[in-house]
Amino acid sequence: MRAYERFLNYITYDTQSDESSETCPSTAKQKDLGALLVKELKEIGAENVFMDEFGYIYATVPASEGAEKAPVLCFCSHMDTAQEMPGKVTNARIINNYDGSDIVLNEAEGIVTDVKSFPQLSECIGDDLIVTDGTTLLGADDKAGIAAIMCAAEAWISDNRASVRNPKLAHPEIRILFTPDEEIGRGPDHADMKKVNAAYGFTVDGTGVDHLQYECFQAAAGYVKIHGTSVHPGSSFGIMKNAALLAMEFQSMLPVYENPAATKDRMGFFHLTGMTGTVDNAEMYYILRDHDRSILEHRKDVFRKIAELMNLKYGENTVTAEITDSYPNMIEYILPKYPFLLDAAREAIREAGYEPKETPVRGGTDGARFSEMGMPCPNLSVGGYYCHGAHEFASIQKMDSVVTIIEGTAARLAK
Ligand SMILES: [Zn+2]
């Protein structure tokens, strides 16, 4: 079966996750797709296939002949879809041999994927594209990743012995991991790394076809609490400390251009995500981001020093600034000890006919958390574009290429 054939079935399952839920998976319906994946994995002959109470799917593909001693390699994708739009797709349509023009998704609603706004369409001229009618997202993020891993697993198992003759299908022992709740930042929360028991892995969760991502933000969260002194404004000379005004003063002391709207590429930022304030007290919530750990540490220092300075000015304990680390830049876990993982993926991407794109992610990935949990985990593409919205589309041919890239990567790690 080709990846898109599996994919077209997976996207009919509603697997939208829900941030407001406290259960895992956050929505029980994710387990419906999970049950299908368990059934399919068993059908293709994977071993130790099961879904645990949290909705995580684990499966094993034994090593090909001669690769039994190579370290276990994991491929991971997530089952849930983003909260921005409904994710149950019953209206997918295939555009054969895409000609490079704007795509009318929905004539009645006037929803058009135009080339000007979505320039990556031009990467897919001549491909067969899968689109929606514009009322849902497509769910290539990340069901295209799941479909590609399933196809690779099927090829490995059906040709387990033939891989001696066909080195392209050689592979170490493979662990498959499908997680719920990635879109709400909880993908790795209940992943049992003892059950995964892999030396390293790849998430298959990136846009396009040729991306190799192993660098993400180094992330921290900042919380500022300001204790004011409220007095009747008519008699507050020299006494009042207006917490709301002090909150504005705190923000004004941060570097003016170091915010998300004024930074790109490798520039980090302070991002005020929310605030409340009265005369009596004020609170501010920030996220701090940088690719470079030392710059992020400097950023944290600046944050704390502003509080210190304001306390000198307004009195001890007027301002408290707390910082907690959120997630690391996975490059720290990958590059020093596992550069061969990246070489394997690069060669596989080139063999599939593309030049690897290696740009740092301006965000986090599940792979960052997996890397921190002991499984170094770069990210590969899925063959989909413009996820999280109505204009998400996938290329059938690029999805096939992703299968080839997964197989090629595994073959290079089979020694
Ligand atoms: Zn994703």
Cα–Cα distance, 174 to 201 (Å, whole number):
9
Q: 365 C-alpha vs ligand 1 centroid, how far in Å?
A: 8
| pLDDT, mean of residues 84-101 | 95
Q: Are 407 and 160 in contact (CB under 8 A)?
A: no
| pLDDT, mean of residues 155-183 | 86
Cα–Cα distance, 38 to 359 (Å, whole number):
34
Q: Note the pLDDT of residue 38.
A: 98
Tell me which DSSP letter residue 71 carries. P
Beta-carbon contacts of 413 under 8 Å, excluding residues fewer than 6 positions away, are 70, 71, 73, 171, 172, 340, 341, 344
What are the structural domains, with CATH classification, of the chain? 3-215+330-412 (3.40.630.10), 218-327 (3.30.70.360)
Q: 142 C-alpha vs ligand 1 centroid, how far in Å?
A: 5
Cα–Cα distance, 319 to 324 (Å, whole number):
17
DSSP strand E in 281-402: where?
Answer: 281-290, 319-327, 379-381, 384-385, 393-395
Instruction: Show which residues are catalytic.
Output: 80, 182
pLDDT tier, 161 (very low <50, low <70, confident <90, very high otherwise): low
Q: What is the pLDDT of residues 342-394, one digit of tens each?
A: 999 999 999 999 999 999 999 888 899 999 999 999 999 999 999 999 999 99
Q: 144 C-alpha vs ligand 1 centroid, how far in Å?
A: 10
Q: 336 C-alpha vs ligand 1 centroid, how far in Å?
A: 26
Q: Are 246 and 198 in contact (CB under 8 A)?
A: no
| pTM for this entry | 0.89
Q: Are 66 and 172 in contact (CB under 8 A)?
A: no
Q: Note the pLDDT of residue 166.
A: 81
Sheet containing strand 384-385, edge to edge, reads 93-95, 129-131, 393-395, 384-385
Q: Note the pLDDT of residue 80.
A: 97
Strands 111-113 and 103-106: antiparallel
Q: Note the pLDDT of residue 2.
A: 96
Q: Coil, strand, or helix at residue 127? A: coil
Rounded to the nearest integer, the mean pLDDT of the chain is: 96
Q: What is the pLDDT of residues 244-271, one digit of tens each?
A: 999 999 999 999 999 999 999 999 999 9
Question: What angle is formed at CA 390 by the lines to CA 273 and CA 381, rounded to 5 degrees?
Answer: 80
